[in-house]
């Protein structure tokens, strides 16, 4: 039943997208021409042009996987794909008008159309997501899962899915050679592996989650074969899943698939170039705009405490390369080297009164815009740490050194989620790894917006 429902949903998405596309063109026309008494080409022509435009948009949305279930997709990723589809869609319209030699078609109408259609598409998907989550939380539109094999990994999967009922999953039960201790979990033991074929024939299972221990892997081939014979989708949840990234990348050598354990989007030359251009452009503009604040802060540091205005401290950056990170000095000048091995706290008595103010407003971080221009840092990324603490954490915290796969940032996913200063290093690293593996340009924009709207006032301290 779930498959039939999903097909209907997909068709409905396509119909709504087509309607929004046509409606966006009408709105764009009236937005641009509402003050005009006359125009060369009437609204009727723009509507007729949709005969060519809507099929192209359908192909773009379909190619970018925007007409399929977004049960597993992040809203941010889907929003990025909508932007891509409309960007290329607008380019297509311009090219179409060029070949049709319609010189009187308003370019501004086309641009406004692209913006309106993007906005309406994002709002539409947000509303649909919220509606479906509410339905699933009430027990409708559920996808029924069967777990084959029970272990720590499948137990963790079950717990996380159960904690978010809005995902719309329901568990039929689990299969295992023998009944396991599932603690207080409300999942039934429905038999050993030999029961799989019978359960799938009863058509009460939509997907199978295969989670075998290493000594059970000899059963994998037959389990997959039974699933495929019954026409039921199967998913592998291997016991080594904790070593895999959130989005494993499958490479291929002579037809043999290889799982890339650590796929880093910023290893892509184009992604890296786009991020670098954005960093340099924004940093340069920010230095110009904030120059009055920079000068006032410099005078304030000089007048309230003896010592250097700019505080330089060695940090570890990309590829474990060391560099000097710049800050406005907010503490008394230390001669014993304690600033290298001491963690800053909220009530640190080394702070000056003026230093406490600029720290609270994060103004002390502004000189790092120079680090960005130099290429030592990025606007967004994992916060760089001192060599002393890098050596201290690398052996204590799993995956800690992976933060050095990308340029460190002035702000990051960990910081906007509250993990800054004297807080949990483990949670901070989880956020850093998530950022590294899931980087997109829109993700950077989101973090910058969150930094501005909820991260400027710093209530925790960081040296």
Q: Between the ranges 213-222, 253-262, 379-388, 416-425, where is the mean pLDDT highest?
A: 379-388
- Give the C-alpha separation, 28 to 112, whole Å: 5
Q: Which two tokens stand for residue 178?
A: 């023998």
Q: Is 413 left (phi over 0), alpha (psi -120 to 50) or beta?
A: alpha
What tens digit of pLDDT does each residue of 369-428 get?
999 999 999 999 999 999 989 988 888 887 889 899 999 999 999 988 887 766 788 889
* Range 155-164 average pLDDT: 86
Strand partners, 314: 324
Closest CA to 70 of 27, 137, 125, 22: 125
Percent pLDDT > 70 in the chain is: 86
Pairing of β 249-253 and β 256-260: antiparallel
CB count in 10 Å sphere of residue 391: 11
How high is the pLDDT of residue 361? Answer: 81
* Maximum Cα–Cα distance across the chain: 81
Q: Which of 14-23, 168-177, 255-264, 271-280 has the lowest mean pLDDT?
A: 255-264
Percent pLDDT > 90 in the chain is: 33
Q: Which CATH architecture has domain 143-243?
A: 3-Layer(aba) Sandwich (3.40)
**Which positions ≥6 away from 48 have C-beta within 8 Å?**
none
Q: Which of 36-50, 93-107, 320-334 has the lowest mean pLDDT?
A: 36-50
Q: How confident is the model at residue 286 (pLDDT cuts 50, 70, 90)?
A: very high
Q: DSSP letter at 216?
A: G
3-state secondary structure at position 347: coil
How high is the pLDDT of residue 1? Answer: 44
Give the CA distances from residue 284 to residues 76, 228, 279, in Å, rounded to whole numbers and listed in that order: 27, 57, 8
Answer yes or no: is pLDDT of 49 > 60.
yes
Can you give the pTM of this predicted structure? Answer: 0.59
Answer yes or no: is pLDDT of 38 > 70.
no
Phi–psi pair at 410, nearest 5 degrees:
-70, -40
What tens digit of pLDDT does each residue of 316-326 get?
999 899 999 99
How high is the pLDDT of residue 419? Answer: 78
Q: How confident is the model at residue 176 (pLDDT cuts 50, 70, 90)?
A: very high
Q: Are 429 and 403 in contact (CB under 8 A)?
A: yes
How high is the pLDDT of residue 341? Answer: 54
Q: Which of 59-68, 174-183, 434-443 has the lowest mean pLDDT?
A: 59-68
How high is the pLDDT of residue 378? Answer: 96
Answer yes or no: is pLDDT of 148 > 50.
yes
Answer yes or no: is pLDDT of 152 > 50.
yes
Percent helix / strand / coil, the chain, rounded to 5: 55, 10, 30
Q: Where do you find CATH 3.40.50.720 in the chain?
A: 143-243
Answer yes or no: is pLDDT of 135 > 80.
no
């Amino acid at each position: 039943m779930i498959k039939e429902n999903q097909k209907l949903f997909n068709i409905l998405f396509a119909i709504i997208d087509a309607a929004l596309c046509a409606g966006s063109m009408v709105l764009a026309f009236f937005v641009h021409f509402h003050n005009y008494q006359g125009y060369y080409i009437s609204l009727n022509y723009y509507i007729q042009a949709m005969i060519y435009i809507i099929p192209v948009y359908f192909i773009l949305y379909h190619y970018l996987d925007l007409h399929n279930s977004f049960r597993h997709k992040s809203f941010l990723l889907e929003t990025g794909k909508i932007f891509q589809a409309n960007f290329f869609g607008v380019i297509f319209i311009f090219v179409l008008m060029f070949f049709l030699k319609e010189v009187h078609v308003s370019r501004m109408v086309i641009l406004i159309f692209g913006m309106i259609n993007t906005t309406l598409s994002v709002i539409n998907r947000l509303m649909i997501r919220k509606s479906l989550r509410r339905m699933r939380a009430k027990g409708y539109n559920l996808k029924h899962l069967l777990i084959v094999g029970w272990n720590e990994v499948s137990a963790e999967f079950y717990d996380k899915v159960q904690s978010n009922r809005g995902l719309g999953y329901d568990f039929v039960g689990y299969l295992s050679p023998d009944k396991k201790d599932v603690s207080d979990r409300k999942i039934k033991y429905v038999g050993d592996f030999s029961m799989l074929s019978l359960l799938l024939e009863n058509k009460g299972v939509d997907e199978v989650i295969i989670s075998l221990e290493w000594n059970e892997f000899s059963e994998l081939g037959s389990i997959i074969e039974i699933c495929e014979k019954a026409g039921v989708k199967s998913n592998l949840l291997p016991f080594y899943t904790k070593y895999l990234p959130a989005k494993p990348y499958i490479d291929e050598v002579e037809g043999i698939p290889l799982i890339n354990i650590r796929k880093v989007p910023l290893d892509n030359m184009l992604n890296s170039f786009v991020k670098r251009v954005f960093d340099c452009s924004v940093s340069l503009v920010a230095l110009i705009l904030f120059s009055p604040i920079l000068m006032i802060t410099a005078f304030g540091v000089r007048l309230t405490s003896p010592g250097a205005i700019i505080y330089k401290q060695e940090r570890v950056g990309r590829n474990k390369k060391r560099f000097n990170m710049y800050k406005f000095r907010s503490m008394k000048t230390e001669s014993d080297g304690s600033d290298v091995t001491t963690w800053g706290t909220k009530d640190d008595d080394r702070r000056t009164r003026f230093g406490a103010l600029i720290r609270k407003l994060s103004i002390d971080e502004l000189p790092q815009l120079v680090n960005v221009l130099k290429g030592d840092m990025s606007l967004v990324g994992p916060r760089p740490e001192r060599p002393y603490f890098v050596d201290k954490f690398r052996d204590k915290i799993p995956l800690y050194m992976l933060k050095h796969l990308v340029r460190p940032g002035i702000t990051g996913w960990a910081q906007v989620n509250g993990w800054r200063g004297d807080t949990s290093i483990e949670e901070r690293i989880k956020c850093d790894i998530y950022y590294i593996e899931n980087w997109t340009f829109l993700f950077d924009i989101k973090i910058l917006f969150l930094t501005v709207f909820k991260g400027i006032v710093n209530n925790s301290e960081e040296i």
